[in-house]
């Protein structure tokens, strides 16, 4: 497997609606997912969508381990989610800071639903269905947006709450 180059905002591949995966347990799909995990780990990401490495397919991965340095960040199970479907379960929304490996060095405040159900398939083609809240729900929405050609800056309500990490959070 390999660490792949991550496309940056402005690349037209990031704005495409990605195609569903039709066949599981192929060399091609398993290699794609392996490369996605290697790339996410190398860049310390919380999630990655296949279009970000130039493959316009409906595949996302995500996962956040518990980290004592960031006690506020709830862990998210390491997940491969293919052909995902999201159902919003509550009208409640929440603002949170997001970053993206395709928008390096920047953060923006994005409003997202706080409770949803997601379903789809894992790497082997087995069905997945989970209810997620808060940060887990945010990560799923962010990654699935990539499959519809949406980057988080396209969801910003206030451009003043979008900027460079070191300017927004000088204490970090
Ligand atoms: Ni992203």
> CATH number for the domain including 92?
3.90.45.10
Mean pLDDT of the chain: 96
Question: Of these residues, 92, 143, 165, 171, which one is catalytic?
Answer: 143
- DSSP output for 53-77: GT--BSEEEEEE---TT-TTS--EE
Residue 122 lies in a domain: yes
Of the given ranges (5-9, 36-40, 67-71, 150-154), which has the lowest mean pLDDT? Answer: 67-71
Residue 6 lies in a domain: no
Residue 7 lies in a domain: no
Determine the distance separating the centroid of ligand 1 and the alpha carbon of 152, expressed in angstroms.
7
Percent of the chain with pLDDT over 70: 98
Determine the distance separating the centroid of ligand 1 and the alpha carbon of 127, expressed in angstroms.
24
Residue 86 lies in a domain: yes
Residue 3 lies in a domain: no
Domain membership of residue 23 as a residue range:
12-168
pLDDT tens across 117-145, in order?
999 999 999 999 999 999 999 999 999 99
Sheet holding 127-133, edge to edge: 47-49, 59-64, 76-88, 115-121, 127-133
Determine the distance separating the centroid of ligand 1 and the alpha carbon of 143, expressed in angstroms.
6
The tokens of 86 are what?
């999201």
Residue 134 lies in a domain: yes
Structural domain tally of the chain? Answer: 1
pLDDT tens across 52-75, in order?
999 999 999 999 987 776 677 789
Residues shown for the chain: 172
Residue 115 lies in a domain: yes
Q: Given this model, what pLDDT does residue 73 score?
A: 78
| CB atoms inside a 10 Å sphere around CB 5 | 10
Residue 149 lies in a domain: yes
* Whether residue 143 lies in the annotated active site: yes
Determine the average pLDDT of the residues in 143-167.
97
Determine the distance separating the centroid of ligand 1 and the alpha carbon of 153, expressed in angstroms.
10
Residue with tokens 């991965």, as numbered in its chain = 61
């Amino acid at each position: 497997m390999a660490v792949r180059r991550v496309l940056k905002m402005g690349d037209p591949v990031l704005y495409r609606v990605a195609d569903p995966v039709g066949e599981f347990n192929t060399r091609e799909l398993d290699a794609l997912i392996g490369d996605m995990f290697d790339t996410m780990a190398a860049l310390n990401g919380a999630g990655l969508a296949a279009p970000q490495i130039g493959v316009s397919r409906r595949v996302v991965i995500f996962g956040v381990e518990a980290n004592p340095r960031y006690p506020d960040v709830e862990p998210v199970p390491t997940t491969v989610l293919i052909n995902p479907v999201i159902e919003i379960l509550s009208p409640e929304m929440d603002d949170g800071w997001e970053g993206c490996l395709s928008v390096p060095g920047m953060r923006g405040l994005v409003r997202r639903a706080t409770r949803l159900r997601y379903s789809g398939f894992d790497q082997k083609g087995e069905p997945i269905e989970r209810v997620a809240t808060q940060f887990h729900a945010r990560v799923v929405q962010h990654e699935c947006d990539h499959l519809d050609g949406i980057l988080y800056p396209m969801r910003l309500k206030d451009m003043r709450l979008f900027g460079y990490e070191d300017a927004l959070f000088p204490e970090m």
